[in-house]
Chains A and B, each alone.
Chain A
Amino acid sequence: MKQFIQGIIDNNQYQATHLLQILRQIQSHYHYIPEDAIGQLASLLSIPRTQIIGVVEFYSFFHLSPRGQYELLISDSITDHMLGSKDLLAYLAGKLGVAVGEVSADGLVSLDKTSCTGMCDQGPAGLVNGHALTHLDRAACDKIAELVKQQKPLEQWPGELFQVDDNILKSGLLLNQPLEQGAALRTVFRRGIKETLAEINQSGLRGRGGAGFKTASKWQFCAEEAETQRYVVCNADEGEPGTFKDRVLLNTYADQVFEGMTVCAAIIGAKQGFVYLRGEYLHLYDKLQNMLAQRRQNGLLGNDILGEGLDFDIEICLGAGAYICGEESALIESLEGKAGIPRNRPPYPVTQGYLGKPTVVNNVETFMAAAAIAVNGGDWFARIGTEKSNGSKILSISGDCARPGIYEYPFGTTIQTILNDCGAENVQGVQVGGPSGTFISNQEFGRKLAFEDLATGGSFIIFNTSRNILDMVHNFAHFFAHESCGFCTPCRVGTSLLQKQLDKIVEGHGSAGDVVALEELCQLVKNYSHCGLGQTAANPILTTLERYPDLYQNKLKEISYEPGFDLDAALETARRMANRDDAGAHLAQIEVNEHE
């Protein structure tokens, strides 16, 4: 082991900022992070062992105790549930002979659930040793169980298990005209750096991650900083359940995304860029590395790009299973090899980002759009869309529709148009922008895709009338509790309390006052949380409570108070100790009214 770890550390130049990448390799080799490895890393990287353990225990894909040689994870996204993943998980557990959350006795296989893997258009989906599995069904599970039993190396598993399709079903402004390699950079050098920033400003481009900050302003603020060491970061930690458009953009339009990053580097004066790629997209890693190598060969990355004196290169860093790292300051912490805990702001990343230096963080789609704007000009982009939302938006459409996949629309398009295009019928409602976004009912399909109406990072999940909305809310509440980083009290405790309070109501233990208490708690978590995760974690409850109050009220019992715990179950230990199970050893949850 010593030699193996020494090799990894050598390859990573003893950089503690590479801790996540180092731990990924160790986890992948040993299927956990062994105690001896922690000690060795601490001494080689000159960091306290507590820092390493802190990182291991923060990220879902790292473990202090061994997982199976085949680590199987099934996506717990609501979109996968809708495709039957719950039954499939139980089936797979039976086939493999291992309980969910456990490792088989022989250490061969482990099985668990994981947050949305970004394959909502081709689920039920999962991961095996980090590699994406799609279109899972019982036949595929049988095959997987057999391959595991035979201990077949992953390289020998049939390719169709790992088949990932783009499913681009509607192209617009950006997807219709992919750029030729180098076109944007050549235009920038011909037109001038300042002039290009002016074009991006003119385009009105706003951040595509969902928050919608004006891209040109962000780049300009960064460029104006006194500190000259600056960084460009591409946020490819697409973790919002129901979104998968960045997966497609990086599979098919990556060159244009890299070009957008390089344009940004030219404008802000950065020498180093990073793509923070979510761990679930490991399948894209080699392809992206090859593309970077090709760009270097073609003089589009590295020293003296296109002979114009620009030095810039891009490194790809993989995440390790933490939704919070989509938050830009948490992403930067993660890039620095730490737990993804959002920073206090100010200072903002444009003034103090990666290693405390000015940093631009933008979404994949933003860089792709910026490259196109650099070539086609600001007006080309600005003539499309609405007054406050210029250009187009790329959507990831999943859930109850005939044709899930990638759709690009001009801002201002109505929800009804989108539903018609993807073949959605008997629609009850749509979750726009993922769990952190808004649920709209079928009375609101005239609403528009736009920052001023329905803002979205791209997630668009459709629910037909056969679905129980509370199942969705329940799934999202558990998602946020699972993904809360735990830094601040309102989110750490609040998301768990929301989950408990919602479960109480959904499971039929709620009584008068419980819905009011739920709503109060929602407001507390929303108003006091440290970052966007906590501030939006209550949205699924709030937006559905607003639209379907009866759905919640109907679950309540007609008594004034229902204890939050099971009285009878609480007596179980006492019964076991007293060795009795007669009627007298049991308690009713509430006093039974004899007149009823």
Chain B
Amino acid sequence: MSKTITIDGKIIPFEDGQTIMDAAMAAGVYIPHLCHQPEFTPHGSCKLCTVNVNGRNCSACTFPALEGQDILNETEELIEDRKKITQMLFVEGNHFCPSCEKTGNCQLQAVAYHLNMLDNHFPLFYPDREVDASHAEVMIDHNRCIFCTLCVRASHEKDGKDVFAISGRGIHKHLIVNAKSGLLKDTDIDASDQAVHICPTGALLVKRTGYQVPIGERIYDHKQIDQVALAASGSRPVAALPPSMAVGTENIKHGE
């Protein structure tokens, strides 16, 4: 008999070595996340995937699945707090969706819609951040970086380079690149690097490709991020509740 955990009352099998996120995704249960991508070492920093495990909050992407775990995922409280954490990501940077070429393809935006985020809630920081357009093919818009480190990990783990790193402390954290000049043009980055294409926001972009897919035909224009994420992970997608209904275990129980 395989080992199981319970998420919102649903029994889910897992194998040793899987995290709660791995087990959930494989079973078609979506847990919101931004800094996590299945093929990279989990980071556990965005905290959107926080679930309640036997009464304690844990990051689903880093916490191992263990026999006997009773996990809460879609509770009213967790959804509301994940929304606030997403709002934090919005106010600390400069995210202006209507004028961003990543709109519709942006995971930050899609998660915000999924969580029914309708405003910023917190005061905006309006940080003074720069754009590095020095490279012929790739650009960094630091205004949109959420410090998920996916580009850092992709460059190191997949591309065999170390183009990116996160520097600084606290609210002064920032993305840096591996060049004496501090500019992307002087790094060994290539537009085909995985690191360039992993950014969940519009912080890392390939030049001259922004509007090849028109607005209205983009990834999240017609699908919720949960459907997309589950399909991409190869799991069997379950009928997703519209976000307005995804408000707690009650709905899930009634839906069964």
Which single residue of chain B is at the shortest CB-CB distance from A324? B169
Chain B interfacial residues counted at CB < 8 A: 39
A471-512 interface with B by 8 A CB criterion = 481-490, 492-497, 500
CB contact between B170 and one of A48, A495, A564 (< 8 Å): that residue: A495
Query: Which B residues are CB-close (under 8 A) to A482?
Result: 170
Kindly state whether residue B185 has any CB partner on chain A within 8 Å: no
Kindly state whether residue A142 has any CB partner on chain B within 8 Å: no
Instruction: Report the minimal beta-carbon distance from B75 to chain A, rounded to whole angstroms.
Output: 13
Cα distance A23–B185 when bound, in Å? 28
Instruction: Report the minimal beta-carbon distance from A365 to chain B, rounded to whole angstroms.
Output: 28
**Contact across chains for B169 and A528 when beta carbons are under 8 A apart:** no
Cα distance A346–B53 when bound, in Å? 14
* Known contacts A54-B165, A486-B147; A493/B178 CB under 8 A: no
Kindly state whether residue B183 has any CB partner on chain A within 8 Å: no
CB contact between B57 and one of A48, A53, A487, A527 (< 8 Å): that residue: A527
**Contact across chains for B170 and A500 when beta carbons are under 8 A apart:** no
Q: How many pairs of residues, A versus B, come closer than 8 Å at their CB atoms? A: 112
Cα distance A487–B148 when bound, in Å? 9
Query: Which B residues are CB-close (under 8 A) to A35?
Result: 180
Which single residue of chain B is at the shortest CB-CB distance from A50? B165
**Contact across chains for B164 and A50 when beta carbons are under 8 A apart:** yes
Cα distance A486–B147 when bound, in Å? 9
Cα distance A322–B170 when bound, in Å? 11
Cα distance A273–B85 when bound, in Å? 40
**Contact across chains for A486 and B173 when beta carbons are under 8 A apart:** yes
* Known contacts A528-B81, A528-B85; A53/B42 CB under 8 A: no
Among B44-52, B213-221, B234-242, B247-255, which stretch is in contact with chain A? B44-52
Kindly state whether residue A416 has any CB partner on chain B within 8 Å: no
Kindly state whether residue B171 has any CB partner on chain A within 8 Å: yes
Please classify the interface of chain A as helix (H, G, I), strand (E, B), loop, or mixed, using the class held by over half of its residues.
Answer: helix
* Known contacts A524-B81, A564-B123; A486/B169 CB under 8 A: yes
Query: Which A residues are CB-close (under 8 A) to B91?
Result: 493, 497
CB contact between A486 and one of B57, B62, B171 (< 8 Å): that residue: B171
* Known contacts A494-B88, A564-B123; A487/B171 CB under 8 A: no
Kindly state whether residue B168 has any CB partner on chain A within 8 Å: yes
Query: Which A residues are CB-close (under 8 A) to B64?
Result: 346
**Contact across chains for A496 and B170 when beta carbons are under 8 A apart:** yes
Query: Which B residues are CB-close (under 8 A) to A500?
Result: 123
Instruction: Report the minimal beta-carbon distance from B161 to chain A, rounded to whole angstroms.
Output: 9
In the complex, the 6 A-B pairs of residues with the closest C-beta atoms, listed nearest first: A50-B165, A493-B88, A48-B162, A564-B123, A486-B173, A484-B170
Besides A49-B180, A493-B91, 7 new A-B residue pairs in contact (Cβ under 8 A), listed by A number: A48-B178, A57-B172, A344-B44, A489-B45, A489-B85, A492-B173, A497-B123
List residues of B whose CB falls within 8 A of some A CB.
42, 44-48, 50, 57, 59, 62-64, 81, 84-85, 88-89, 91-92, 122-123, 125, 146-147, 162, 164-173, 176-178, 180
